[in-house]
Amino acid sequence: MSNETLTSKEAVAQTWVRALSDLDLFAQLCSADCQVWHSNDNLWVTVQQAVDAAKARPDFPEFVDPRVTMTDAGFIVQSSVSLELGGHAQQLHILQVTDVVDGKVVRVQEYISPEMPI
C-alpha cells in the first residue's frame, strides 16, 4: 500500500480489514493525530500506542469473519477473536467504529464484549 492512494471510504475500509492481520497498515490508514479508544480500559491512545500494545501480545488473535458497514462518517467493522483469559478460552466480539476524513481514519472507537450466557 506504500504508493497506493486511497480515494474512497470503501477503499479505506477494505484496507482496514487487511490491517487486522497486518498491524503496520494502521499507521498508513490513519491521520497523524488519530486517536483510538478501547472499551476494555476506557482510554484514548495514539494509533502507534494501540499498534505497539497489540504487537506486545504474545498471543495476538486472528480476527474472524470481519464485516464492514459503511456510514456517513466512515465505517464500522464487526468481528470476533478467541483469546485465552484466566486459563480459559474466551470468545470476544469486536466492533470498531471509525470516522474518515479526506481518505484517512481520524478517530476509532473499539468496543470489546465477551460472549456470555444471559
pLDDT digits (tens, 9 = 90+) for 65-79: 999 999 999 999 999
Q: How far is CA 37 from the centre of its chain?
A: 10
Instruction: Let me know: does 34 contact 99? Beta carbons within 8 Å.
Output: no
3-state secondary structure of 98: strand
Task: State the 10-residue block means of pLDDT for the chain, 118 residues long.
Answer: 62 96 94 96 96 90 95 97 88 97 96 90
pLDDT of residue 88: 87
Q: What is the pTM of this model?
A: 0.88
Angle at 23 between CA 17 and CA 93, to 5 degrees: 55
3-state secondary structure of 35: strand
Q: How far is CA 106 from CA 65, 84, 101, 115, 117, in A?
A: 24, 31, 7, 29, 35
Is residue 42 packed enough to be buried (19+ CB in 10 Å), middle (13-18) or exposed (0-12)?
exposed
User: In the chain, what percentage of residues exceed pLDDT 70?
Assistant: 94
Please tell me the predicted confidence (pLDDT) of residue 59. Answer: 83
Q: Which alpha helices (DSSP H) does the chain contain, by range?
A: 9-19, 25-29, 47-56
CATH of domain 9-114: 3.10.450.50
The mean predicted confidence, pLDDT, of the chain is: 91
